[in-house]
Amino acid sequence: MIEGITFLDGIEIVIFAIILFSLYRLVRGTPAIYIFGGVVAIYAAWKLFDALEMDLLSEILDQFIGVGFIALIILFQQEIRKFLLVIGSSSFGRRRRFFRQLLWLKPEEGEINVDPIVHATSQLAESKTGALVAIERKMPMGYYAQTGVTLNANLGSRLIQSIFFKDAPLHDGAMIIAQDKIIAASAILPVSESDEIPGRYGLRHRAAVGLTEKTDAVCIVVSEETGQLALVIEGEIIIIKEKDELRRRLTELLKY
């Protein structure tokens, strides 16, 4: 044992390293990674100045880090929200998947049966019936589902179609699907304020973009005006021409 470092210090260092690396994995690939890098650099500089007894610089960074904690909560809102949503979610399986990912364990693989969704949305497109379907991936959709009518019904093509029929009471708003269940209909999704969305798209598409900017969900939009099918992921609208393309993309996106 190195003098001055106890066994407990060693455990503390390992736990700290795991937390740091897990945070890195959570923000990797998002703009937050740059903030994360900046925070680590400032903290390292602060410790260095402190060790070298450069009092003025160390004092300035000390003050900065004092208010930095609150700034971090504001900057990492989305990530903290993601984390708390998963912790607070009622699905044990989903939480287990998230923690497997966090602990760098190989995820358990599986597939969601996309056929009812593909069939229903293609039929809706053919009849030019407007629809908005949000499909949960890793992040729980319970928060958005409770803005609509709770269903928890088995996933079926005919049920999806009948919910979106023009005169059906629940056709307005979004349907939310999680695993093999339609968990809610008539849900209200956050509308994107992005000025990159072409003007031809209205609120239905904006709501799909808004949700996928904030979460990892996949949305399918059927345009009432044109009957066009679109897949929306990470705020991007992808026009779908063929039913098979929708099946292929969805199967890939919903692998877990």
Interacting residues with ligand ATP (CB under 6 A): 130, 132, 172-174, 188-189, 191, 201-205, 207, 223-225
Nearest residue (beta carbon) to ligand ATP: 202
What is each CA distance from 54 to 40, 41, 50, 64, 68, in whole angstroms?
A: 19, 17, 6, 16, 21
At its nearest, how many Å lie between ligand ATP and the CB of residue 118?
Answer: 19
At its nearest, how many Å lie between ligand ATP and the CB of residue 159?
Answer: 18
Between 32 and 168, CB nearer to ligand ATP: 168
Is the Cα dihedral 249, 99, 180, 223 positive or negative? Answer: negative
At its nearest, how many Å lie between ligand ATP and the CB of residue 186?
Answer: 8
Task: Give the whole-angstrom CA distance, residue 56 versus residue 19.
Answer: 30
Between 52 and 239, CB nearer to ligand ATP: 239
Task: Give the whole-angstrom CA distance, residue 30 versus residue 79.
Answer: 10
At its nearest, how many Å lie between ligand ATP and the CB of residue 194?
Answer: 13
Task: Give the whole-angstrom CA distance, residue 35 versus residue 38.
Answer: 5
Task: Give the whole-angstrom CA distance, residue 26 versus residue 38.
Answer: 16
At its nearest, how many Å lie between ligand ATP and the CB of residue 205?
Answer: 4
Between 187 and 250, CB nearer to ligand ATP: 187
Q: Which residues pair with 176 in a beta bridge?
A: 134, 184
| Residue 4 falls in which region: left (phi positive, over 0), alpha (psi -120 to 50) or beta | left
Between 39 and 168, CB nearer to ligand ATP: 168
| Phi and psi, residue 136, nearest 5° | -70, 140
Between 44 and 203, CB nearer to ligand ATP: 203
| Strands of the chain, DSSP E | 131-135, 149-154, 174-178, 181-187, 218-222, 229-233, 236-240
At its nearest, how many Å lie between ligand ATP and the CB of residue 78?
Answer: 19
Between 26 and 122, CB nearer to ligand ATP: 122
